[in-house]
Chain A
């Protein structure tokens, strides 16, 4: 919101993205021709009914799902090409999951430092210093030596966010980060995400938190049936929805 990012460079470019799941009976078109760009510093919010393909879209961006058709370009590299080292690119694309997915056999500090140490070659001291700094930023520096099982859901998700940040990613992908949380913990996670957005982090967020979408989003995509049905600024989407399906959806969730 604070920064006007309209003219910033494109960081992720998606062209004609499709994903089909073949089952015995039918072919499911989870994604059916998605074309969009994500620019540096942008907070792209993806909304839509359940089963509309939001997760599939987000997970295609870091190739957790392999697209059936189309191309995805990240920082100028075609990530779907067999020659691309996807592990290298994923280091630059953090992901935050609905169910946190912290590593239960590691302490919080180990959760956060394992990847930077093994993948970026950071020293233990450097990685821990960075992790502690990030923990302090989300108010959890005193939990560094705790195990995930000792934390509340909101704390776990804040840790998951800073774990991703430890790799200094260029983009953060969020798949319904607050959907598994008790209502009283949603706020603390959204606050961290708002803080990140203000700091200029590029984010793609699948969420049902319309308040967050309106307040923090720089652009909103409404998906249904594997397609982008409508796309615009938060005020275009929420105050002046054009498509009937979007109007129906908003009537239900707002």
Chain B
């Protein structure tokens, strides 16, 4: 009796909520190839993140070198043109760090798009610049802490061999500093992936915006937004895993 009841219910139909899900899935992702909003959006998110990370690291390294050079050497420098330039550069970098870290990234993005590049139609470039400049400020502090963590004896050994300041930084200090902060830098990448989710504010079709577009077409929020969240989560878990593998490899490789 009980068995036949069960068989009857299963054979008759899926439960109502399950049917509903199936339909929702169809409407949100399959119909009119709506999944493409997510696929293209994901590609856009990764593209912006990738180039912004590169720009951020480049800016961050430069800013970090200026800051740490200033802090280490300006006290011993003779007054003169070089000292003036270093102080000026340091001031500019400090201003950059303060402004960027003191304002929300979405405001920076909108300022970049609507004010600085008001005439540009290249939204991706604008986003890469905005997120790259933003990330650079955080990367700068990461790398600066890396440079400061290198024993001064390394610097002196380099100089005593005859390397000039830049060569000592390039061959000896920066490689060690980067290696020490590689996990923190990778983490910055993870943060950035999520931060680019505000790209929609300037009309960029990133992953978040893609999900939102589906929502606006189908008038169902549940599935597209959950899918978006799930994709971010997978990316973040994947890169976190990579970071921990990296950390373990670095720890094993020496010392």
Q: Which A residues are within 8 Å of any B CB, using their own CB?
A: 62, 64, 66, 82, 87-88, 90-91, 93-95, 97, 99, 101-105, 114-115, 118-119, 147, 149, 163-164, 167
Q: How far is the CA of A117 from the CA of B175 in the complex (A)?
A: 18
Given contacts A66-B76, A87-B164, A91-B162, contact A149 B254 (CB under 8 A): yes
Segment 24-49 of B: residues with Cβ below 8 Å from A: none
The docked-state distance in angstroms from the alpha carbon of A149 to that of B252 is 12
10 contacts across the A-B interface (CB closer than 8 A): A64-B160, A87-B164, A88-B162, A90-B161, A90-B162, A101-B151, A101-B153, A105-B176, A105-B179, A115-B161
Q: Closest residue to B179 on the A side, CB-wise? A: A105
The answer on a CB contact under 8 Å between B160 and A93 is yes
Contact A103 B162 (CB under 8 A): no
Known: A66-B76, A103-B172. A118 touches B160 (CB 8 A): no
Interchain CB contact under 8 A, A97 and B157:
yes
Picked from B156, B159, B179, B254, the residue with its CB within 8 Å of the CB of A147 is: B254
CB–CB A64/B159 < 8 A: yes
Across the interface, which residues of A come within 8 angstroms of B175, CB to CB?
Answer: 105
Q: Which 7 A-B residue pairings sit nearest by Cβ, starting from the closest?
A: A91-B162, A101-B157, A95-B160, A101-B153, A115-B161, A90-B162, A149-B255
- Point out which of A66, A82, A104 has the most chain B C-beta atoms below 10 A from its C-beta: A104
Contact residue among A64, A88, A101, A167 (Cβ-Cβ distance under 8 Å from B154): A101
A119 touches B156 (CB 8 A): no
**Bound CA–CA A105/B163 (angstroms):** 17
* Given A82-B78, A97-B156: A104 touches B254 (CB 8 Å cut-off): yes
> Who on chain B is nearest to A85 by CB?
B164
**Known A66-B76, A119-B161; 12 more pairs at CB < 8 Å:** A90-B159, A90-B160, A90-B162, A94-B161, A95-B160, A101-B151, A103-B176, A104-B254, A105-B254, A115-B162, A119-B163, A149-B254
B171 within 8 A of A: yes
> How many contacts A-B (CB < 8 Å)?
65
Do A101 and B254 form a contact, CB below 8 Å, given A82-B78, A118-B167, A167-B162? no
A82 proximity list for chain B (CB < 8 A): 78
- Decide if B160 touches A94 in the complex (CB within 8 Å): yes
Task: Looking at the assembled complex, report how far the CB atom of B147 sits from the nearest CB atom of chain A, in whole angstroms.
Answer: 14
What is the bound-complex CA distance between A97 and B159, given in angstroms?
A: 13
Nearest residue, chain A, Cβ from B255: A149
Residues on the A chain within 8 Å of B157, using CB = 95, 97, 101-103
Enumerate chain A residues within 8 angstroms of B167, measured Cβ to Cβ.
Answer: 118
Q: How far is the CB of B220 from chain A (nearest CB, A)?
A: 54
Task: Tell me which residues across on chain A come within 8 A of B158, comparing CB atoms.
Answer: 103
> Which residues of B from 7 to 34 have beta carbons under 8 Å from A?
none
When distances are taken between beta carbons in the complex, the residues of chain A under 8 Å from B159 are 64, 87, 90
A90→B164 CA distance, assembly (Å) = 10
Partner of B156, one of A64, A104, A114, A149: A64
The answer to whether A164 touches B255, judged by C-beta atoms less than 8 angstroms apart, is: no
Q: Which of A91, A103, A167 has the most CB of B within 10 A?
A: A103
Q: From residue B36, how far is it (CB to closest CB) to chain A in Å? A: 46
> Which B residues are CB-close (under 8 A) to A115?
161-163
Contact of B153 among A93, A97, A119, A164 (CB under 8 A): A97
- Give bound CA distance, A82 to B255, whole Å: 40
Q: Considering the chains assembled together, what is the distance between the CA atoms of A62 and B162 in angstroms?
A: 10
* Nearest CB on A from B152, distance (A): 9
- Chain A proximity mask over B135-165: 1 for CB below 8 Å, otherwise 0: 0000000000000000101101111111110
Of chain A, the residue at the smallest CB distance from B171 is: A114
CB-nearest residue of chain B to A160 = B157
Identity of the chain B residue whose Cβ is nearest the Cβ of A63 in the assembled complex: B159
- List, in ascending order, chain A residues with CB within 8 A of B154's CB: 101, 103
Min C-beta distance of B174 to chain A, whole Å? 10
Q: Encode B85-129 as 1/0 by CB contact (under 8 A) with A.
A: 000000000000000000000000000000000000000000000
Cβ distance A32 to chain B, nearest Cβ, rounded Å: 20
Indicate if the CB atoms of A104 and B176 lie closer than 8 Å: yes
Identify the closest chain A residue to B77 (Cβ): A66
CA of A164 to CA of B162 in the docked complex: distance in angstroms?
10
User: How far apart are B192's CB and chain A's nearest CB, in angstroms?
Assistant: 27
Nearest CB to that of A102 among chain B residues?
A: B157
CB pair A167 B156 closer than 8 Å: no
Task: Please report the C-alpha to C-alpha distance between residue A70 and residue B176 in the assembled complex, in whole angstroms.
Answer: 37
Give Cα distance in the complex from A216 to B167, angstroms: 36
Q: How far is the CB of A233 from chain B (nearest CB, A)?
A: 29
B176 contact set on A, CB distance < 8 A:
103-105
Measured between alpha carbons, how far is A27 from B153 in the docked complex, in Å? 25
